[in-house]
Structure 1
Amino acid sequence: MKFVIAVIIFSVVILIHELGHFLLAKKNHIEVLEFSLGMGPRIISTVKGGTRYSVKLFPLGGSCAMAGEDAEDDSPGTFNSAPVWGRIAVVAAGPVFNFLLAFVLSVIIVGCMGYDPATVLEVTQNSAAEKAGLKKGDVITEYQGYHIDLGKDLYVYSYLNELKEGDTIRLKVKRDGKEQEISYKPDVNVRYLLGFNRSDVNSMTVESLIKGMPLEEAGLEAGDVITKINGVEVPDGNAYEKYIEEHPLSKKPVTITYERNGLEYEAEITPREYRTPVSGFGYNTYSEKTSGFNVLKYGAVEVKYMIRTTILSLKELVTGHLGMKDLSGPVGIADAIGDTYEQSKSEGTLMIWMNLLNMAVLLSANLGVMNLLPLPALDGGRLVFLVAEAIRRKPVNRQVEGMIHFAGLMLLMALMVIVMYNDILKIF
């Protein structure tokens, strides 16, 4: 069932993308040779009005094959025979239709569930935030210079702009219909850490060690099992959490007992101080009902959020904050859609539909943005050549353009293989 749902969502998103190319090609009198969903051999095919409509074996893509699209042929009815601005419209239509699909689905979601305003729900008593004048009920409209429309905007920008000690939080909030600015240096939360991650919340098995932290320096390794702290047994995660709550870690050394390959070892370590700035306020992450024009407004805002998040993720990838392991291809996305379906079943039919529609919005907006990247073989790469042609008033050498797009396609295919391999490793 999970696979079927993933295929349906993929197919709809890709079908709408290719439909954009198809409709604008017809509008500009360009002959469409084949309009297909999927890749590989045809399993269903029919010819109508000079166009072959096909469904292919592998539901991992689609195409709108136009006459003369990848050749120097400019005879009537071919892609190159259309005016340059018409060709630009044809190429841009795929991503634009993805954004339109995302908008329509977002309007449905907002109409049913509402939206999540960035409303302050609580302000920590005697905190720097309270002293600066922040109040419960304030609606945050700007954070650190970034415009905020939704609670999830605030989450994303807080995550991407991690506070450091000494930083100043700069907010704009709306209160009683008026906007005002609030700024303050956040309080600092001081904790003492051992420096390890557990394989499970209920387990005391070391999954990984934080480089340069006490346990790593003491020689512990992934797979070791911590059994005691200062002689007190911690058989599971609950016992560990209870011990830390009753005996907060400090600068005082502690004795860690751990097992490795059936043998017991001890290490005396000094917990490391970890200072974290805290904002001093909590904000809304739940949806509030809305109606009328606001449904359209916040439908557009949701699409804006998805597009902006995709662009920010690409920026993180380029700057090295994200790596290849963080990318997902069709296999990983299908798995995520399946997980969303399974996790939503306990919440009822409405939430299943809403969460799956939300995945479709994310996928559609993501596909639109990715296709507009100015890379060879993508719609964005083709647009670069077409815009250059419009400016120069003559086409770029078609043979050179074709070679560049072919090279880009090969690189994209290689990237897809790597990403799919990573997806399979993550799942299995």
Structure 2
Amino acid sequence: METAIAFILIFGSIVFFHELGHFIFAKRAGIMVREFAIGMGPKLIGYTKGETVYTIRLLPIGGYVRMAGEDLDAIDLQPGYRVGVRLNDVGEVDLLVMNQKNYLPDMHFLEVERADLMKDMYIEGYDESEQFVRYSIARDAKVNESGRESLIAPFDRQFHSKTVGQRSLAIFAGPLFNFILAFLVFTALALFRGIPTDEPLISTIMADSPAAESGLMQGDEVTAIDGQAISSWEEMALTIQENPETPLTFDLERDGQPVTLEITPNAVENGEQTIGQIGIQSPLEKSVLGSFTYGATQTYEWTILIFQLLGNLITGQFSIDDLSGPVGIYKATEEVAKFGIFNLMNWTAVLSINLGIMNLLPLPALDGGRLLFFGFEALRGRPIDKQREGMVHFVGIMLLMVLMVVVTWNDIQRFFF
């Protein structure tokens, strides 16, 4: 149960920040945001404020910001269509009812002759007395269709009416906010826990670890391993990791006196590698300014590392079978949770960077794929045909779903069989 709660909180936070980026920059560009959703599938709860409905949905596997004009939300009124209209105080239509079952007492009935609900914002036709009338549509007018109300989106409030730069920022802001979240989490981690130093000093020793069993003590300074001088924590850690199940001779300085111990690192699986660990942690120091520097450097270093792993996937150094989906992330979260809140925070930041990078890949249906189309539009001076772009994204979604099924099945086989 604790793992499930941790997984939902971590994944929910990452998705929330991602969608918050889209939301903020869409609103800044004047785009109407119809829905801000965390999760996918059936709606669990919803709250409407202004022109946006905020929802939490059943499946914690993503989220979305639905912007006006991105989907098939245009209303096409054909000649002869009978509708009900309600007028506001200045004689503009503020409610358009498409279904006769939902007509209200103060409705005017209209047989549509012509209508434009996006650009010129008008509707005209014949009323109950067969007179030809024309009404302007209020910019905040609503449409009621079979009891479901939605706002009319004037063309200048729609996604595709904005410049390439505004649309690109609204899309790029999602991954950008994932990097911002990672920076904030790493910074908070340094503020609350402290910043690891690079001195080869022993700070914390895990119970029942090779370090504890050998007699290593807090405050010991490692000066050499197997006769090789050690001047930094990074050197010491690398030597230990490269020697799993291999006895190592540690030369230490303890209270000004030399001490020699033999320690055999445990073998620990780390992805495709087996590394050595002896169960120690580096010393920590507190610094407000240093915490922000630590947040920035950790975000940068993890970003480079994840790009390197992507390069290994492209060059075939590891395959799709090595990738993890939601099941694998859940199991990893379960393992990380055993080591406390600080490790969960670090895991959250790494996952957030990973999501940001994955979304920036120039693949159909991902944010990077959409940015690629915007780039083509900027070079051509005109937009790509919407039907062709939509087909490319549809194919991309199908391929991503297939990949998700394959990765999930691999996870299930790996952890449960």
CA distance in 2, matches of 1:369, 1:136: 36
Asked whether the equivalents of residues 327 and 412 of structure 2 are also in contact (C-alpha less than 8 Å), the reply is yes
**Aligned residue identity for 2:68:** A
1:30 corresponds in structure 2 to 31
**SS at 2:55 equivalent:** strand
Do residues 106 (structure 1) and 169 (structure 2) align?
A: no
- What pairs with 1:251-330 in structure 2 (closer than 5 Å)? 286-330=282-326
**Aligned residue identity for 1:101:** L
2:43 corresponds in structure 1 to 42
**Aligned residue identity for 1:68:** G
Do residues 384 (structure 1) and 385 (structure 2) align?
A: no
**Aligned residue identity for 2:177:** F
Asked whether the equivalents of residues 72 and 80 of structure 1 are also in contact (C-alpha less than 8 Å), the reply is no
- What pairs with 1:12-161 in structure 2 (closer than 5 Å)? 12-70=13-71, 75-117=155-197, 121-124=222-225, 135-137=229-231
Asked whether the equivalents of residues 68 and 158 of structure 2 are also in contact (C-alpha less than 8 Å), the reply is yes
Asked whether the equivalents of residues 178 and 353 of structure 2 are also in contact (C-alpha less than 8 Å), the reply is yes
Pick closer, same or farther for the CA change 1:403–1:105 going to 2, 3 Å.
same
TM-superposed deviation, 1:81: 0.6
CA distance in 2, matches of 1:421, 1:14: 23
TM-superposed deviation, 1:325: 2.2
**SS at 2:69 equivalent:** coil
TM-superposed deviation, 1:61: 0.9
Pick closer, same or farther for the CA change 1:139–1:422 going to 2, 3 Å.
closer
Pick closer, same or farther for the CA change 1:373–1:288 going to 2, 3 Å.
same
TM-superposed deviation, 1:122: 4.3
CA distance in 2, matches of 1:139, 1:332: 31
| RMSD between superposed Cα atoms in Å | 2.9
Q: Percent identity?
A: 39
CA distance in 2, matches of 1:81, 1:67: 10
CA deviation digits over 1:208-251, x for unaligned, max 9?
A: xxxxxxxxxxxxxxxxxxxxxxxxxxxxxxxxxxxxxxxxxxxx
Q: What is the aligned residue count?
A: 281
1:365 corresponds in structure 2 to 353
2:362 corresponds in structure 1 to 374
Asked whether the equivalents of residues 187 and 291 of structure 2 are also in contact (C-alpha less than 8 Å), the reply is yes
**Aligned residue identity for 2:36:** F
TM-superposed deviation, 1:333: 0.5
CA distance in 2, matches of 1:354, 1:125: 33
Pick closer, same or farther for the CA change 1:415–1:330 going to 2, 3 Å.
same
Q: Mark the runs of 5 or more structure 1 residues left unpaired by the alignment.
A: 128-134, 144-150, 160-199, 202-281, 345-351
CA distance in 1, matches of 2:232, 2:181: 33
**SS at 1:396 equivalent:** coil
**Aligned residue identity for 2:67:** M
1:418 corresponds in structure 2 to 406
CA distance in 2, matches of 1:138, 1:10: 35
Asked whether the equivalents of residues 359 and 366 of structure 2 are also in contact (C-alpha less than 8 Å), the reply is yes
2:330 corresponds in structure 1 to 334
Do residues 398 (structure 1) and 394 (structure 2) align?
A: no
The structure with the larger Rg is 2
Instruction: Kindly indicate whether structure 1 or structure 2 has the higher relative contact order, using CA contacts under 8 Å at least 6 residues apart.
Output: 1
Asked whether the equivalents of residues 195 and 287 of structure 2 are also in contact (C-alpha less than 8 Å), the reply is no
CA distance in 2, matches of 1:54, 1:72: 18
**SS at 2:184 equivalent:** helix
**Aligned residue identity for 1:81:** S
CA distance in 2, matches of 1:425, 1:308: 30
TM-superposed deviation, 1:310: 1.2
Pick closer, same or farther for the CA change 1:288–1:383 going to 2, 3 Å.
same
**SS at 1:407 equivalent:** helix
